[in-house]
Amino acid sequence: MEDLIMKAYKPETFRSEAHQLVELLATELEKAHSAPQKKDTINWESPAEQLAYWQNDFNSPLINNPQQLFRSVMSRSVNLHSRGYIGHQTATTLPVTALTSALISFFNNGMAVYEMGMAGNAMEKVVTGYMATKFGFDEEASGIVTSGGTLGNLTALLAARAAMPNVLGKPEYGQLAIMVSEEAHYSIERAVRIMGLPAENIIKVPVNDRFQMRADTLEHYYKEATAKDQKVFCIVGCACSTSIGAYDDLEAIGQFAQKHNIWFHVDGAHGAPVIFSPVYSHLLQGIEKADSVMVDFHKMMMAPSLSTAVLFKSARQAGKTFLQKAEYLWQDQQADEWYNSGKQTFECTKPMTILHTYTIMRLYGDTLYQQHIDKLYGMAGEFAYMVHQHENFELACEPQSNIVCFRLKAGAESNELNRDVLQRLIEDGRFYIVGTTIKQEFYLRITLMNPLTQKDDLEQLLSVIEDLAMSDAVMG
Ligand SMILES: Cc1ncc(COP(=O)(O)O)c(C=O)c1O
């Protein structure tokens, strides 16, 4: 019988397969510099068609070379490097991160203990320390990387709970409450539920007409909670919110949190990287008052998913979050050992995703991020202007970030028409955009994530949408 182990680990095979893949990706990147053609951004197939394809593929004879398989995956996935990719808040990854991904996977250092992540743990400390300084924290600060913002938010809320006198297992535990914008990402509510707190202890603060948390109502909701014997231990500010990209007034929230001695967490998953831009960093005014800030590297910082920084104003406070014994990993749980990162994070084995951001920072410094933010946030403003100029379209509200919600005007038919058009746009495949519901109304939503996208593409998007809306199939 053929020795498959030796075959699979053969360096020549790996070298050749890797070269072929790099060639394939580089060709894709070449195409990404041109205007998108039909099916370039998404080659849509129904779930049933996808399943049938992969079921059939899986049942076929073994393959010798994975290239055809890789091509099949590529043609059946959204192409985030296409100029027509303006959909979700996922990064159009910097090409060099395809290489860092290979290195991370090949070395597979698990990071929980120092030896299994010597470079990774140190790079994580350097980068999170740098980010913390950017947000105005001092040398007391610390940070860790988590696999995603959902886990990042949970981690920050667990830290907020650990910073309080311990009421775990006591009747008072059920009184703990958190204040958050009604526009906050669902991961906040999920985290609170995971912590075993009832839904009514999530105090959803209403937003103003720009979809920002109404800071003028904070005292009112706090008093109301206190009167109900709820103990507010944390308030979360959005920078920015997911659906519409609104930045809360972090200065006002920070002052409120300080006054009542409440943990202040900033969910900056998408929008905190504006810190790199002198033009847009004012949107974060007050962030230095936060006790914790979460920022996704895999959104506006061009890294592959999932890689998130959770930054804490006080390393001492953060260190209390996951206090627990695991003798086979760490001798002394109490000791402050940044290099055994498993002590500070929910995860045990964790990929060295910090290598992506560390590499980007070493290659390009802050300037790349600054240019990226300025370009994408600036283009959102230009797109909003185009929408304003167009008699058939309307905006949900002026964009504050690179997220813009808009729709075709069609009076009472608006929801149905825009839903239909969205599906037809996806089937056309030149553009990938998404939809969202704002105040019970359906809107089209773009997030400018791809720095290769041009103003012309956005003009083209509006005209394709109009054409689709006018075609017989939609108008009946
Ligand atoms: C504001 C905000 N917070 C948290 C998250 C969750 O982040 P992740 O998808 O990295 O888990 C998102 C995702 O879109 C988000 O927009």
| Distance from C-alpha of 92 to C-alpha of 28, rounded to nearest angstrom | 13
| Distance from C-alpha of 42 to C-alpha of 174, rounded to nearest angstrom | 47
Q: Are 222 and 277 in contact (CB under 8 A)?
A: no
- Dihedral of CA atoms 371, 376, 378, 380 in degrees, nearest 10, equals 180
Atom of ligand 1 nearest to the CA of 268: 1
The CA distances from residue 84 to 63, 208, 284, 370, 429, in Å, are 33, 32, 29, 22, 9
Sheet with 403-408: list strands edge to edge: 393-395, 403-408, 441-447, 434-438
User: Each residue's pLDDT tens digit in the chain (476 positions)?
Assistant: 999 999 999 999 999 999 999 999 999 999 999 999 999 999 999 999 999 999 999 999 999 999 999 999 999 999 999 999 999 999 999 999 999 999 999 999 988 888 889 999 999 999 999 999 999 999 999 999 999 999 999 999 999 999 988 888 888 999 999 999 999 999 999 999 999 999 999 999 999 999 999 999 999 999 999 999 999 999 999 999 999 999 999 999 999 999 999 999 999 999 999 999 999 999 999 999 999 999 999 999 999 999 999 999 988 887 778 876 565 665 665 666 778 777 788 888 999 999 999 999 999 999 999 999 999 999 999 999 999 999 999 999 999 999 999 999 999 999 999 999 999 999 999 999 999 999 999 999 999 999 999 999 999 999 999 999 988 444 44
Total length of the chain: 476
Could you tell me the two tokens for 288? 């230095």
306 CA from centroid of ligand 1 (Å): 10
Atom 4 (ligand 1) nearest CA: 149
63 CA from centroid of ligand 1 (Å): 37
Contact 149 CB / ligand 1 (< 6 Å): yes
pLDDT in tens, 247-293: 999 999 999 999 999 999 999 999 999 999 999 999 999 999 999 99
- Strands 434-438 and 441-447, sheet pairing: antiparallel
Q: Are 180 and 202 in contact (CB under 8 A)?
A: yes
Give the per-residue SS3 of 291-310: CEEEEECCCCCCCCCCCEEE
Contact 154 CB / ligand 1 (< 6 Å): no
269 CA from centroid of ligand 1 (Å): 6
Contact 89 CB / ligand 1 (< 6 Å): yes
- φ, ψ at 454 (rounded to 5°): -110, 165
pLDDT in tens, 412-461: 999 999 999 999 999 999 999 999 999 999 999 999 999 999 999 999 99
DSSP structure string for 81-148? TSTTB--SS-----THHHHHHHHHHHH----SSGGGGHHHHHHHHHHHHHHHHHTT--TT-EEEEESS
Q: Are 289 and 258 in contact (CB under 8 A)?
A: yes
| Distance from C-alpha of 150 to C-alpha of 246, rounded to nearest angstrom | 19
Contact 250 CB / ligand 1 (< 6 Å): no
Q: Which residues pair with 264 in a beta bridge?
A: 235
Q: Say what the pLDDT of residue 167 is.
A: 85
Atom of ligand 1 nearest to the CA of 238: 1
Contact 447 CB / ligand 1 (< 6 Å): no
Cis upstream peptide for 240 (omega within 30°): yes
- For 393, how many CA atoms within 13 A lie in the half-sphere containing its CB? 27
Atom of ligand 1 nearest to the CA of 151: 11
Give the dihedral sign, CA 369/295/445/205: negative
User: Where is 390: in which H helix or E strand?
Assistant: none
Q: Say what the pLDDT of residue 471 is.
A: 85
pLDDT in tens, 14-52: 999 999 999 999 999 999 999 999 999 999 999 999 999
CATH of the domain spanning 109-350? 3.40.640.10
Atom 8 (ligand 1) nearest CA: 149
Domain ranges for the chain, please list them.
109-350
DSSP structure string for 455-471? HHHHHHHHHHHHHHHHS
Instruction: Find the angle CA(167)-CA(168)-CA(172) to the nearest 5 degrees.
Output: 45
Q: Which residues contact 43 (CB under 8 A, 6 or more apart)?
A: 75, 76, 429
User: Helix 96-107 vs helix 11-31: angle between axes, to the nearest 10 degrees?
Assistant: 150
- φ, ψ at 285 (rounded to 5°): -55, 125
Contact 242 CB / ligand 1 (< 6 Å): yes
Single-letter residue type at 150: T
| Distance from C-alpha of 130 to C-alpha of 345, rounded to nearest angstrom | 19
Contact 183 CB / ligand 1 (< 6 Å): no
Could you tell me the two tokens for 56? 């059939």
Q: How far is CA 6 from the centre of its chain?
A: 40
